[in-house]
């Protein structure tokens, strides 16, 4: 087994060797997000965006849910991978950040495919139909509630559907016993729960900030 530190140059090389290219909508969205300052670091990177689009296409996603939208980049990537007639439900609590996303979705011609709900995500998720109708789920909001989002969303995901959770390695702190940050503790509990959840097959990628990809059985 070989692994190595992924430098910015390696990451850019990998992105450049995928088929996705950033367009004007993405450039503008990145600029508007960067102007927000430090919080811009919450936005997923281009490699992860490519992967979300690819996953949406691979599962033929018609019904998708995102928990944690911020300025709308990950949702743009998911929406671009939706099948004909597909839609994405986005959950967030911040109107200012998501307003940036709404403008990007409009520019991309995707606004009518995205249903943005401004409310605590648990409140929104609890109102969704109980049937297993979701094809794709992306969890990227407040870490202490990941396990609650998981419990709302696994039963609503169809067999063969995919759930993705971001930041599960938390900059590597997850495996550092000295790290007792609240987010780390919550993510450790979440990761343990997912790893033993018999309703799904799981792979955790030590890529990006750690990405769990689970397939509903
Ligand atoms: C890491 S950011 C999401 C980044 C986004 N997926 C992207 O790639 O651009 C986390 C988001 O979760 C939202 N959030 C935090 N707590 C929440 C809650 N209880 N319900 C819904 N959204 C929440 C924040 O407002 C923030 O926009």
Closest residue to atom 26 of ligand 1, CA basis: 70
pLDDT, position 2: 82
C-alpha to C-alpha distance for 88 and 128, rounded to whole angstroms: 13
Residue 1 Cα to ligand 1 midpoint, Å, equals 35
What's the pLDDT at 63? 98
pLDDT of amino acid 1: 76
CB of residue 91 inside a 6 A radius of ligand 1: yes
Distance 35 CA to ligand 1 centre (A): 18
**pLDDT for position 13:** 94
> What's the pLDDT at 62?
98
Q: Which atom of ligand 1 is nearest to the CA of 33?
A: 9
The response to whether residue 141 sits with its C-beta less than 6 Å from ligand 1 reads: yes
**Which pLDDT value is given to residue 192?**
98
- Say what the pLDDT of residue 99 is: 98
Which of 54, 111, 96 lies closest to 77, judged by CA? Answer: 54
Closest CA to 65 of 144, 122, 24, 13: 122
Q: In this structure, which residue's CA is closest to atom 11 in ligand 1? A: 68
Q: What is the mean pLDDT of each run of 10 residues along the chain (217 residues)?
A: 88 92 94 98 96 98 98 98 98 98 98 98 98 98 98 98 98 94 97 98 96 98
Is the CB–ligand 1 distance for residue 123 below 6 Å? no
User: Do 200 and 137 form a contact (C-beta atoms < 8 A)?
Assistant: no
């Amino acid at each position: 087994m070989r692994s190595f530190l992924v430098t910015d140059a390696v990451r850019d090389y990998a992105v450049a060797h995928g088929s996705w290219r950033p367009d004007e909508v993405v450039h503008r969205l990145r600029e508007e997000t960067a102007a927000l300052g430090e919080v811009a670091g919450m936005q997923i990177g281009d490699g992860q965006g490519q992967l979300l689009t690819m996953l949406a296409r691979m599962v033929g996603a018609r019904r998708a849910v995102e928990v944690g939208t911020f300025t709308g980049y990950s949702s743009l990537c998911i929406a671009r991978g939706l099948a004909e007639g597909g839609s994405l439900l986005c959950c967030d609590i911040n109107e200012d950040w998501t307003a940036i996303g709404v403008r990007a979705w409009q520019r991309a011609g995707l606004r009518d495919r995205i249903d943005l709900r401004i409310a605590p995500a648990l409140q929104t998720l609890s109102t969704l139909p109980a049937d297993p109708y979701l094809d794709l789920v992306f969890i990227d909001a407040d870490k202490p509630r990941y396990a609650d989002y998981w419990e709302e969303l696994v039963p609503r995901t169809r067999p063969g559907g995919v759930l993705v959770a971001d930041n599960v390695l938390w900059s590597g702190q997850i495996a550092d016993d000295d790290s007792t940050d609240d987010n780390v503790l919550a993510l450790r509990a979440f990761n343990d729960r997912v790893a033993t959840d018999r309703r799904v097959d799981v792979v955790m990628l030590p890529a990006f900030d750690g990405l769990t990809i689970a397939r509903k059985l």
